[in-house]
Structure 1
Amino acid sequence: MTAPHGRAVLVERPGVHRLVERPRPAPGPGEVLVRVFAAGICLSDREVYEGRRAPGYVRYPVVPGHEWSGTVEAVGAGVARDLVGRPCVAEGFRCCGTCERCRSGETSLCTAGYAETGFTEPGAFADRLVVPARLLHLLPERADLRAAALLEPAAVVAAAVRAGRPRPGERTAVVGAGTLGLLATQWLAASSPAALAVIEPRAARAERARDFGATLVLDPANATAAHGEFDLVVETAGAPTTAASACLLARRGGRVVLTGMFAEGATGIDPVHLSLNQLELRSVFGASSAAWADAVRAFATGLLDPAPLVTHEFPLDRFTEALALVGGGDPTVGKVLLRP
């Protein structure tokens, strides 16, 4: 009997990909096989395709896809069989679970070496993928799996919220109104801020932030008057100037959390401003297990709803068309999904 086959987008090397057929993956001990429902495309996937991801943070050939949702289809040895049929997402970082950082709960700082689904391990631009069962987060039985594909960026936002510690009545700002920025706005709105500003140069994106809870939208060119006004600033854009500008927005003694992925040559943060204003500065790369749990809980209870962010859906064989939309500058493009 011929083994069942599936399909996957394989990036062989920068700029070169194929839609391949392959035997259905088999979960090994401690692993689960997931049928992918949807997988989101983000700018880091475009970086992988174009060869712009930093060395050591990608391994070619690779099946990309780190934002996804699906259903457990099979389990390997040592994994509870009642997981089969359960809707789920899973953490991307393949943390070791035993180093000092992991044992301290800082799983995104694992010292065993970088490994992540969709970058160094096969990802979800496929109809199925295999992940360690210990990284699964189960969803409610009737969860919206289309929206759940955005739980990876939601977990990054959860990590930022954990680091920023918003308190009711504070003045809060979000820099950027992309996927991370709008999710951060929606989450921070739930903390009852006195004001929630979103700084975004694209007018259509900025106005959309109001639907996610923003009370004020500002163009960066007009944000100078707001310098020093905010207790908490969450930066999500990763643009060349936004790390520095986020620090200028914070009040003396304020808190700044950087979540954007910056490229070489970005504007540096003024150490004099940082020290004289006694700012608390944190950065986020990925999400810990605790942040994932926060995101899944917020989604399950309805506090966080990523569904309105999805604007486009494509099958695997239209990967090139889907990828071209991501980062293309069209303000009407939100989250783009691949639907195997």
Structure 2
Amino acid sequence: MSAGATAVSRAVLVERPGVHRLIGREVPVPGPGEVRVRVAAAGVCMSDRELYDGHRAPEYVRYPVVPGHEWSGTVDAVGAGVDPALLGRPCVAEGFRSCGRCERCRYGETSLCTAGYAETGFTEPGAFADHLLVPAGLLHPLPDGVDLRAAALLEPAAVVAAAVRAARPRPGERIAVVGAGTLGLLAVQWLAASSPGELAVVDPRAQRADKALGFGASRTLTPREADGEAGRFDLVVETAGAPPTAASSCLLARRGGRVVLTGMFTAGATGIDPVHLSLSQLEVRSVFGASSAAWADAVRAFSLGLLDPAPLVTHEFPLERFGEALALVGGGDPGTGKVLLRP
């Protein structure tokens, strides 16, 4: 770079649904209480596809926006009031920009913050970029030498951690995971550590279901086969977000069983039968994002080697090929796992 030249930081900007371009901008400077992260890897998920296609609810996106809410990187600058010891630390950070002051935040339920929705990559600039600014209070430092490629999946891992917290798995239970996508396979890996008596995975895609066996599942079922197992499972963790899976997951649970819904459902999904719900005395919980506590669980499990998301990654692209990466996500190829952008 010649003397006096301004350093450039690239970013994928989605100007409006269906329209994006790679932009160059000055390297952002962290303000008070912020850190700047040099992004190592950023995952592309269906929420990013929904954002790009214009299918995300208006209150949960703000165009133009730089997407990217699943990421890892290294702190390369700190703002005023931030511990300089963070410089050079590998890290991830929570996506929800919780206020830390409302009643729900004070209870530790930061994903239920009442100050209004704000999230990295949806309403705030995200990680499909060379650099990212985040509040230092949301940062989760990682051990030196960590696999930052795998660490980019700690955001979905934190969602799974939130689901497991809600699920309260106990040794010897019969557990079903509905869906063998990123969330489903991470859930299998996590739940396998609870010593279940049975850990079944329900997915119509044989290739994805078979992968679950390598993550600790004891058997796999197609949705049709699962219909014959109604009322059998102590715990059902739904991760697919498909139109019928909230209702079908409740049917899989035994009377008095527990169901946790983590999939992102859209309008028109099949409703849960209230008669079945009341007569079966089911406990049903839903998860949207992850609290600070769930993030801490995921980071600890990853740092200790108890959770390994690396085998989920199947494709990596530079920022310039964002369009190709996005096309793979939701494209229907069962061989496509987690797609990463590598700035």
TM over 0.5: yes
SS of the residue aligned with 2:58? coil
SS of the residue aligned with 1:56? helix
Amino acid across the alignment from 1:222: E
- Which one of the candidate residues 236, 253, 274 is aligned to 1:250? 253
Matched, 1:335 2:312: no
In the TM superposition, residue 226 of structure 1 has moved relative to its aligned partner by 1.1
When the two structures are aligned, how many residues end up with a matched partner? 340
SS of the residue aligned with 1:130? strand
Separation of aligned partners in 1, 2:81 and 2:226: 55
In the TM superposition, residue 3 of structure 1 has moved relative to its aligned partner by 2.7
- Which one of the candidate residues 202, 220, 227 is aligned to 1:224? 227
**1:125 aligned partner:** 128
- Which one of the candidate residues 39, 42, 63 is aligned to 1:39? 42
Separation of aligned partners in 2, 1:127 and 1:270: 47
**1:168 aligned partner:** 171
**1:158 aligned partner:** 161
Residues 131-188 of structure 1: per-residue CA shift (max 9 Å, x gap): 0000000101011000000000000000000000000010001000000000000000
SS of the residue aligned with 1:187? helix
Separation of aligned partners in 1, 2:120 and 2:87: 21
**1:102 aligned partner:** 105
In the TM superposition, residue 224 of structure 1 has moved relative to its aligned partner by 1.6
Q: Counterparts in 2 of 1:10-29, with a 5 A limit?
A: 10-29=13-32
Matched, 1:305 2:313: no
Separation of aligned partners in 2, 1:294 and 1:4: 37
Matched, 1:71 2:74: yes
In the TM superposition, residue 2 of structure 1 has moved relative to its aligned partner by 3.0
**2:320 aligned partner:** 317
Amino acid across the alignment from 2:66: V
Separation of aligned partners in 1, 2:202 and 2:133: 39
**1:80 aligned partner:** 83
SS of the residue aligned with 1:89? strand
SS of the residue aligned with 2:316? strand
Unpaired runs of 5+ residues, structure 1, are none
SS of the residue aligned with 1:305? coil
Matched, 1:7 2:10: yes
Unpaired runs of 5+ residues, structure 2, are none
Separation of aligned partners in 1, 2:300 and 2:180: 23
% identical aligned pairs: 80
SS of the residue aligned with 1:46? helix
Given the two structures, how large is their TM-score scaled by the length of structure 1?
1.00
Separation of aligned partners in 2, 1:107 and 1:2: 42
Matched, 1:283 2:308: no
Q: Counterparts in 2 of 1:260-279, with a 5 A limit?
A: 260-279=263-282
Separation of aligned partners in 2, 1:64 and 1:108: 19
Given the two structures, how large is their TM-score scaled by the length of structure 2?
0.99
Separation of aligned partners in 2, 1:65 and 1:163: 26
SS of the residue aligned with 1:223? helix
Separation of aligned partners in 1, 2:198 and 2:175: 6
Amino acid across the alignment from 2:295: W
After TM superposition, where is structure 1 displaced by more than 2 Å over at least 4 residues in a row? none
